[in-house]
């Protein structure tokens, strides 16, 4: 049975927008919109950007930068854990 998407209305930049969304993802959509809306407001306060389009683009770029930094950190952590596991795992030539 296929899952039916709902039409979800959210407010971003003071305007209503509708998106199709899986029922189990509605809260995540609302959380994402709230985060983006907060970031847009931060961009407006921290810079000379005043129009919605530019503020939205700047906020999106900052969010992408944050995501890339987290992905890099996650990869570095995975590499570190892997190197620790390699040190803990005996090789075929090791004896007690």
Q: Which domains, ranges and CATH numbers included, belong to the chain?
A: 6-88 (3.30.160.880)
Q: Is 92 helix (H, G, I), strand (E, B) or coil?
A: coil
Note the pLDDT of residue 1. Answer: 46
> Is 23 strand, coil or helix?
helix
Q: What is the pLDDT along the chain (96 residues), one digit of tens a residue?
A: 456 899 999 999 889 999 999 999 999 999 999 999 999 998 888 888 888 889 999 999 999 999 999 999 999 999 999 999 999 988 766 555
pLDDT for position 94:
59
d(CA 46, CA 42): 6
Q: 55 — phi, psi (to 5°)?
A: -65, -40
The pTM assigned to this predicted structure is: 0.74
Phi/psi region, residue 49 (left: phi>0; alpha: psi -120 to 50; beta: rest), is beta
Sorted by sequence, the CB contacts under 8 Å of residue 67 that are 6+ apart come out as: none
pLDDT at 3: 67
The confidence score (pLDDT) of residue 50 equals 80
């Amino acid at each position: 049975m296929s899952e039916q998407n709902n039409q979800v209305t959210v407010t971003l930049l003071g305007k209503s927008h509708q998106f199709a969304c899986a029922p189990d993802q509605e809260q995540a959509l609302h959380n994402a919109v709230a985060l983006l809306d907060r970031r847009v407001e931060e961009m407006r306060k921290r810079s000379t950007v005043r129009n919605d389009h530019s503020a939205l683009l700047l906020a999106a770029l900052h969010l992408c930068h944050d995501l890339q930094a987290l992905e890099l950190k996650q990869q570095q952590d995975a590499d570190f854990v892997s190197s620790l596991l390699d040190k803990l795992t005996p090789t075929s030539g090791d004896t007690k």
